[in-house]
Structure 1
């Protein structure tokens, strides 16, 4: 069995330990999500949470085997780790490709989901609370048709402020915001609708998640390559120098340099 280069072993252990840390973080996030969300929300996320549990735990176990195999220079743990990490990389690559393919469809589905909430006065309270926060933060009003989506009762979160950077328009004088009028001056509200901002933010989040997944895939592939290199090195046999037989060595071919009689 060949000896593994120290730098190669340290690099492999570093990469594998980093994967273990990411797996532990994923497991912690999954446990937190399971306890943070309410029972109804957890039921909707049931399949996703189970998948995160399986991925994080299996990956953590594989990394433990991989580090053990590298430290003890044992082949079977390294083989299990390398095969598992390669299969995981292929699975994540397939998920990445599928997500890239369906990403345009996700934007259309999100648009339909938000448009189903119209008219806004009839939407549920939880959605309206979230929309009011979005209107204040993103400086927009309504979903599709701007402030008209609110009808007569325009939300006060649509009011423009001195720090507003997005364009504003005058609110209808017969709206619920007329109480904010001062000296018969029109009340200014945000002109643009929130739907493009909402979809853009969610698509940006999806792109960020896909980018993180790609980084994880590359990290896993690097660990797999290092594992294969270590296995190849362990499979090699160290060459030992050949022993050459010499008849002269057997005969004891020595020469006397000084006659011992001279010292008697």
Structure 2
């Protein structure tokens, strides 16, 4: 069994320990999310994702522990199990990345369809109106598809332009509810653009961020597999031992006897 280079082993320890920390954090976030959304009405839609996160984090954490044990004790079987498991995990991550890229346009279309079903806003639920009002103030927009026209007469006060607004504003129609308590004839400025494009863009950015995180984790896993394979190659390499050569002279005792020290005195 060959000797593993110290720098190679330390690099493997650092990368594998980092993967273990990420897996532990993912498991903690999953446990927190499960407890937080336990009483939520949409928990059934989240269970599939939560279960997938449980499986990925636990299996990855177990593989990293086995890989670190194999590197410390120089156990080839443990390193082989780690390498095979991480390779399968990398393939799964690549499949998720491809699927995410493929469904990204479909998610935007489904999201647009879902929000357009909420129109007209006069018939929307109170919870949706509150969420939309917060979105309008945060994204500096008004309405969903056709701007403030989606509100009809009852234009929400969350459409009012802030002093530091960066998005374009227009004067609100004078037949809207915003002018009921106005005394002077000063125009009331509201946001011009609708919120739906911003909501879709925000969702797509979230998907892109998630895909970027998956890609970074996959590359980290690939690096750990490469280092593990290098360690396995070093362990499989036989050390060169000097050959033992038989010499008849050594057996015969071909030595020179030293003169007795008394002869020189």
Give the TM-score category using the shorter length: over 0.9
Instruction: Give the aligned partner of residue 42 of structure 1.
Output: 43
1:115-149 residue CA offsets vs partner (Å, 9 max, x unmatched): 11111121122221111111111111000000010
Instruction: Give the aligned partner of residue 7 of structure 2.
Output: 7
Instruction: Report the Cα offset of residue 66 of structure 1.
Output: 0.4
Q: In structure 1, what is the Cα distance between the partners aligned to 2:194 and 2:91?
A: 41
Q: In structure 2, what is the Cα distance between the partners aligned to 1:44 and 1:243?
A: 72
Instruction: Give the aligned partner of residue 30 of structure 1.
Output: 30
Instruction: Give the aligned partner of residue 254 of structure 1.
Output: 255
1:191-245 residue CA offsets vs partner (Å, 9 max, x unmatched): 1001111111110111011011000000011111111111121112112111111
Instruction: Give the aligned partner of residue 120 of structure 2.
Output: 119
* Large movers: runs of 4+ above 6 Å: none
1:202-241 alignment runs, 5 A limit: 202-241=203-242
Q: The residue matched to 1:169 in structure 2 has which SS?
A: strand
Instruction: Report the Cα offset of residue 261 of structure 1.
Output: 5.1
Q: The residue matched to 1:4 in structure 2 has which SS?
A: coil
Instruction: Report the Cα offset of residue 166 of structure 1.
Output: 1.2
Q: In structure 2, what is the Cα distance between the partners aligned to 1:173 and 1:200?
A: 32
Q: In structure 2, what is the Cα distance between the partners aligned to 1:217 and 1:161?
A: 43
1:68-96 residue CA offsets vs partner (Å, 9 max, x unmatched): 00000001111111100000100110110
State yes or no: 1:51 paired with 2:75. no
State yes or no: 1:162 paired with 2:169. no
Instruction: Give the aligned partner of residue 16 of structure 1.
Output: 16
TM-score when normalising by structure 1: 0.96
- Which sections of structure 1, spanning at least 5 residues, go unmatched? none
Q: In structure 2, what is the Cα distance between the partners aligned to 1:85 and 1:169?
A: 56
Single out whichever of 22-31 and 116-125 deviates more from structure 2: 116-125
Q: The residue matched to 1:40 in structure 2 has which SS?
A: coil
TM-score when normalising by structure 2: 0.95
Alpha carbons 1:180, 1:187 under 8 Å: kept: no
Alpha carbons 1:181, 1:187 under 8 Å: kept: no
Instruction: Report the Cα offset of residue 257 of structure 1.
Output: 5.3
Q: In structure 2, what is the Cα distance between the partners aligned to 1:260 and 1:147?
A: 119
Alpha carbons 1:96, 1:214 under 8 Å: kept: yes
- Which sections of structure 2, spanning at least 5 residues, go unmatched? none
Q: How many correspondences in the alignment?
A: 264
